[in-house]
Amino acid sequence: MYTVVSGQPQKLSHHFTLPKIISALFIVLAAIWLSAAYSVEQGLLLLVGAALGITLYHASFGFTSAWRNFILDGRGRGLRVQMLMLAIAVLLFFPTLSLGEVFGHPVNGSLAPLSLSVIIGAFMFGIGMQLAGGCASGVLFTLGGGNARMLLVLAFFVLGGFISTAHASFWANMPALQPVSLVKTLGAPLGIVVSLVLFAIIAALTVVIEKRRHGELEHEKATTHKGLERFFRGPWPMVWGGVALALLNYLTLVISGKPWSIAGAFPIWGAKISSALGVDVASWQFWQNPGNAKNLASSIFSNVTSVMDFGIIAGAMLAAGLAGRFAFKFRMPIGSACAAVIGGLLLGYGARVGFGCNIGAYFSGIASGSLHGWLWVVAAFFGNTAGVYLRPVFYKNPQTAPQIKSC
């Protein structure tokens, strides 16, 4: 992953005024339009997406880099913050999901079967994370921050997700067990205890490994920004990001009735583009499913995941402008371009057959008490390990380029 602008946050200048204006106007006007044309909930979800984009950018909150740092260097700070994020989410999600409703509206968690396709898809996604230089959330917010290389990754992320829908029947016939929910199986209180114990064990293991390798734990880098200036311009402590993401995911559950996801929108985008080009997508078995057929026939602006994805990009663009770090560049070595293409395809294909990405399966799946989330993260971690050792094939200096600053 690589930084949009290297070094410490720079002093704001007129070069960053236009991105701030464009992104702020888009967020406000799009929220108003969505509220009027579709529903107030859609407008609110765009704002939640924008808040997610700001959080991801300012907190440099990543999954790919956190896993790579642990795999290569034994540094576990990123993983520990992820465990904190999951702990907060579980404390919020489990009681609500146990009730089945909030403010009179039904809510449902991100549940999926314990399938061989989860293992294969998550492993593919893990490799894709390291080759592409980002996860699902990282691709969107880094694109919003001005990293034009992520346009290439996103294009093939969409293509990979779309291609996977042509093979839906094959993956549906993979050996599988029924979805298992800790909330339903153990009840919310015991499910919370079990989850918190698992998070604590993982965090403790990272502490032991990091201290053995380095003698001490890694600390946050110092910043000259304080108070409100730091809030608006960043960088935020990673812990702020973990807390904010957990709260915003719960807000998504309350508003939309389901947790935050990202990659589910991409096959829809690919199908709509293909349909416009004359491909008879509607005849495919996957797109004949009532829910998928509805998504194909409806506007993408009626799709919750799509709207939130647009919000993430706009929010990250606003954050980059406020930080004085927005810079749109598209120059990349051929190896980096090849990794973007292959990584994007693996991300898109793996996310769909694996029942989600690092957000929909890992974050929201575990927050929902779904055991498929735990299965996904184990397989994805092994995929990341393979991806880390494949990076030298594409990058002369795989430790430093390309690296999205947070993912």
CA end-to-end span of the chain, whole Å?
6
State which residues form the domain around 250. Answer: 14-394
Let me know how many helices (H) and strands (E) the chain has, helices first: 18, 4
- Total number of domains in the chain: 1
Residue 256 has pLDDT above 70, yes or no: yes
Residue 307 lies in a domain: yes
Contact call for residues 403 and 3 (beta carbons, < 8 A): yes
Q: Which pLDDT tens digit goes with each residue over 336-383?
A: 999 999 999 999 999 999 999 999 999 999 999 999 999 999 999 999
Residue count (the chain): 407
Residue 273 lies in a domain: yes
- Residue 403 tokens read as 């690296």
Residue 312, by phi and psi: left (phi above 0), alpha (psi -120 to 50) or beta? alpha
Q: Which pLDDT tens digit goes with each residue over 62-117?
A: 899 999 999 999 999 999 999 999 999 999 999 999 999 998 899 999 999 999 99
Residue 7 lies in a domain: no
Residue 400 lies in a domain: no
Q: Which pLDDT tens digit goes with each residue over 149-192?
A: 999 999 999 999 999 999 999 999 999 999 999 999 999 999 99
Calpha distance 164→166 (Å, rounded): 5
Q: Give the predicted TM-score (pTM) of the model.
A: 0.91
Helix (H/G/I), strand (E/B), else coil: 280: coil
Residue 258 lies in a domain: yes
DSSP string, 321-334: HHHT----B----H
Residue 403 lies in a domain: no
Average model confidence (pLDDT) across the chain: 91
Residue 8 lies in a domain: no
Helix (H/G/I), strand (E/B), else coil: 279: coil
Q: Which pLDDT tens digit goes with each residue over 29-72?
A: 999 999 999 999 999 999 999 999 999 999 988 899 999 999 99
Residue 136 lies in a domain: yes
Average pLDDT score over residue span 209-227: 84
Q: At what angle do helices 371-394 and 116-132 cross, to 10 degrees?
A: 40
Average pLDDT score over residue span 284-307: 95
Helix (H/G/I), strand (E/B), else coil: 207: helix
Q: Which residue has the higher pLDDT, 293 or 329?
A: 293
